[in-house]
Amino acid sequence: MSIPEWLHAIQTYMKMLQYNHTGTQFFEIRKSRPLSGLMETAREMTRESLPIKCLEAVILGIYLTNGQPSVERFPISFKTHFSGNYFHHVVLGIYCNGRYGSLGMSRRSDLMDKPLTYRTLSDLIFEFEDSYKKYLHSVKKVKIGLYVPHEPHSFQPIEWKQLVLNVSKMMRTEVRKELEKFARDMRMKILKPSSAHSPMKERPRGKSLSPRRRQGSPQRRACRRDKSPAVLDKKGDLAALNEVGYQLRI
């Protein structure tokens, strides 16, 4: 498959799961969890095949694109206002071969996936903003995260809001300028993936839990050495008592 065909297949799979209208979230998604834990939740989604919402679709989209290193993934969050209430929505931004698009799930068909045809990040964001206007929603804030690493066992959490724009108080020219500067910085970090995420110290594995390693520790060897003289002393005492008893019998 080509990359656009692969992304289309992923979005088709999400649509087959359907949007969760029940009001009950079937999968717990904590944004602060390491990527490895979120990928385990994504595997559970594929096993259970239950309806999902927008946040779950982002995690599932990351999981299903892990095998495509040329595809960069990053979260895009929207805060909108309608009829006195605020609403939150998130999609998975996609960057590949100089084009932007998205994957996701929503109640509205034009607020989820976008084809991989947008030349700039700002064009993609403005397309979502125009789609929101159809439903009388005004976009208040847009949050853009960092590229998600392709290592499914990473202990790093996803960076959800590296750039926060209060678009309701900005001109479109200002929004475009900020988005394109951020997009350029992100593209430069493709060459240096480690700079996109601060490295986290991984927990040492098994150094204090393995029985074999505990037996070979300096402390245990020292204990064995400490006990050795005591054993020799006992043998010497026993020999002395035997000699005394032999003399008494004589």
Question: pLDDT digit of tens for each residue in the chain (250 aa)?
Answer: 899 999 999 999 999 999 999 988 899 899 999 999 999 999 999 999 999 999 999 999 999 999 888 999 999 999 999 999 999 999 999 999 999 999 999 999 999 999 999 999 999 999 999 999 999 999 999 999 999 999 888 899 999 999 999 999 999 999 999 999 999 999 887 534 444 333 333 343 343 333 344 444 444 444 444 443 444 444 444 454 455 444 434 4
- Residue 3's closest CA among 99, 86, 129, 134? 99
The domain locations on the chain are 3-196, 211-249
Residue 67 confidence (pLDDT) = 83
Q: Quick one: which of 41, 78, 34 has its CA closest to 59?
A: 41
| Residue 58 burial class via C-beta count within 10 angstroms: exposed 0-12, middle 13-18, buried 19 and up | buried
pLDDT of residue 91: 98
Catalytic residues: 54, 89, 106
Look-up of token digits 């998975």: 92
For the chain, report the end-to-end CA distance as a whole number of angstroms: 100
Our CA dihedral for 107, 84, 76, 17, rounded to 10 degrees, sits at: -20
* pTM (2 d.p.): 0.75
Query: Phi-psi category of 23—alpha, beta or left, where left has phi over 0 and alpha has psi -120 to 50?
Result: left
> In this structure, are residues 121 and 181 in contact, taking their beta carbons and an 8 Å threshold?
no
- Of 128, 3, 138, nearest to 76 by C-alpha is 128
Contacts of 146 (CB under 8 A, 6+ apart): 74, 158, 159, 162, 186, 189, 196, 197
DSSP 3-state percent helix, strand, coil across the chain (nearest 5): 45, 20, 35
Rg of the chain on CA atoms, in Å: 30
pLDDT in the model for residue 242: 53
* pLDDT of the residue at 32: 93
pLDDT at residue 87 in the model: 96
